[in-house]
Amino acid sequence: MPPAKKKPATQAELFTTSTPKEIQDILWKAADKLRGSMDAAQYKEFVLGLIFLKYISDAFSERREQLAKELAEEGIEEERRAEILENKDEYTGEHVFWVPETARWSWIAANAKAKGVGLLLNEAMDAIMRENASLTGVLPKIFNSDNVDQKRLAELIDLISDARFGGAGDKPAQDVLGEVYEYFLGNFARAEGKRAGEFYTPRSVVQLLVEVLEPYEGRVYDPACGSGGMFVQAGKFIEAHRGRGHKSDISVYGQENIERTWRLAKMNLAIHGIDGNLAARWGDTFDDDKHPDLKADFVMANPPFNLKDWARKESDPRWKYGVPPKNNANYAWLQHIVSKLGERGTAGVVLANGSMSSQASGEGEIRKALVEADLVACMIALPSQLFRTTQIPACLWFLSKDKSPQGARRLDDRRGEVLFIDARAMGEMIDRTERILTDADIAKIADTYHAWRGTNSARDGALSYKDETGFCFTADLNTVREHKYVLTPGRYVGSVEVEEEDAEAVAEKIARLTGELFELFDRSDDLAITVREQLEAVRGR
């Protein structure tokens, strides 16, 4: 007798037996079928908008069930219970978005095939934005477009409906949905390549920034916030070290220049339960600072590397240490960030390696002024291939307005000193093109900084600092002066030859000049076409 054929698992059974990672993969593959003729930016907004709708609908349903249980236990009459369950204040008072009936996921899933899923989704997004002022202008309404396969969209709705987001492990559904959102952001970054730099910073780099700065409480600011990853990781750090209820101990402020990315950030913060101030709309940080009076306790930023076309005003009061050059905004970002720091504020900034050594267009003088003002606390050289979006080598600048013991905090006095860490040999490759910093790497770097600064590590208690050849070195200002204010860690830690550092700087310069050359080629081609057209016009007269 032949063996019985194995019956295929249903969607519900499949999700029941799947891990969170497998659920993410299933949803990604299903969503990818919808790509069609959408451009990458629109597709990203399309899919993440669906996940956001599922999130706020689940959060609403969870609050509704909790409220119904409480009312039943209190013996409230059924008619009165129904009235209270539709009271908007019962939800918004618990930091849950109000979701009108026709925007609830269960209603959309039940009516999708009969009424047209794309139209229902557009109407749901509109209804949610009308009822929740903080989401005005944030949610996408692109689901009923001609380039959207409505049949596949309905299938994706069914798939997301069947996914048991709270069914794997002890994590609540909202947390799993938050991880799905992050997973999709990461996948979009891989798919979009260089263009992804505007919205995504590699997770391990963000983790390192947060672990070093330890933003337990206070005002946290990001002047180029992308999709809000810095804030999300700060919230996770607080949850891990002080518990879920302490996430509100930080106040989040951010700005983003690209409309679609700003909307992604607003959704990302909402899906992770972070009440952030990203301003009423997007805008250029240099030309239209949305938080002009802010003094932050922590700044975390990954601004665009070597930005050429930026809103430069020579008389800007932010240029206290020197006017940044027209063709590179690296030192504009650094000085903007310094201007935002409170009296004891600290900052972590991702920049191109050239920022540590460039002498072009007055950058060396600005760097000298920052060092002499004792604002530079730590410089970290990062390993290559952390960023899929660029091959330019990167580093971390850590700035501090106050390196004194700070009274009752009894920190080590680091005035007139800079810590150098060379982490270029760290990390592991997760595929042929991408490297990540491991948890052990992040812990070693963060612990080294905390030991140097005299803070207590959450992992090991009190730490003591000592120089480690090839990895870390603390230099006084005289030593930095001897190196002509070049801040590449390889010059200080002892094992990397200066020539290697210089070669790295040359490699970066070659990459930059190659890009400029290609731009000139493009302009030359355009000019040749224009000349040819003009000559043809003259001949035809």
Predicted confidence band of residue 368 (pLDDT cuts 50, 70, 90): very high
Query: What CATH number does domain 11-188 carry, 1.20.1260.30, 3.40.190.10, 3.30.70.100, 1.10.10.10?
Result: 1.20.1260.30
* List of residues 6+ apart from 18 with CB closer than 8 A: 26, 168
Least confident of 305-314, 475-484, 518-527: 518-527
**Residue range 28-56, pLDDT digits in tens:** 877 777 777 677 777 888 888 888 898 88
Which of 3.40.50.880, 3.40.50.150, 1.10.645.10, 3.60.130.10 is the CATH number of 205-500?
Answer: 3.40.50.150
Look at 433 and 103; give whichever has higher pLDDT.
Answer: 103
Q: How far is CA 29 from the centre of its chain?
A: 23
Section 409-425 average pLDDT: 94
pLDDT recorded at residue 499: 43
Rounded CA gap, 509 and 78, in Å?
72
pLDDT in tens, 444-473: 999 999 999 998 654 455 678 999 999 999
Return the residue matching tokens 């607080």. Answer: 238
Cα–Cα distances in Å, from 172 out to 9, 48, 51?
25, 19, 15
pLDDT at 498: 44
pLDDT of residue 278: 95
The answer to whether 349 and 397 are in contact (CB under 8 A) is: yes
Check residue 28 and give its pLDDT.
80
Q: What is the DSSP letter of 345?
A: E
Please name the residues in contact with 148: beta carbons below 8 A apart, sequence gap of 6 or more.
34, 36, 38, 46, 118, 142
pLDDT score, position 512: 59
CA–CA gap between residue 34 and residue 150 (Å, rounded) = 9
Q: What pLDDT was estimated at residue 318?
A: 97
What pLDDT is attached to residue 539?
64
Tell me the torsion sign for CA atoms 68, 71, 72, 78: negative
Listed range (209-223, 241-255, 440-454) with the worst mean pLDDT:
241-255
pLDDT (average), residues 2-25: 58
What mean pLDDT is predicted for residues 167-172? 54
Lowest mean pLDDT among 16-30, 198-212, 264-278, 313-327: 16-30
Question: Does the pLDDT value for residue 230 go beyond 80?
Answer: yes
Q: Give the per-residue pLDDT at 478.
A: 97
Dump pLDDT digits (tens) for 61-102. Answer: 989 999 999 999 999 988 899 999 999 999 998 888 999 999
Q: pLDDT band at residue 521, thresholds of 50, 70 and 90? A: low
Range with the poorest average pLDDT among 72-81, 230-239, 303-312, 489-498 = 489-498
> Residue 516 — very low, low, confident or very high, per pLDDT cuts 50/70/90?
low
DSSP labels, 481-530? HHTTT---THHHHSSS-HHHHHHHHHHHHHHHHHHHHHHHHHHHHHHHHH
Helix axes 40-73, 78-85, angle to 10 degrees: 150
Mean pLDDT of the region 319-346:
97
At residue 289, does pLDDT exceed 60? yes
pLDDT at 537: 62
**pLDDT (0 to 100) of residue 261:** 87
Strand partners of residue 352: 394
- pLDDT of residue 133 exceeding 80, the answer is yes
pLDDT number for residue 407:
82
pLDDT at position 500: 46
Q: In what order do the strands lie in the sheet with 394-400?
A: 276-277, 250-254, 218-222, 296-301, 341-352, 394-400, 376-381, 417-422, 472-476
Domain boundaries, the chain: 11-188, 205-500
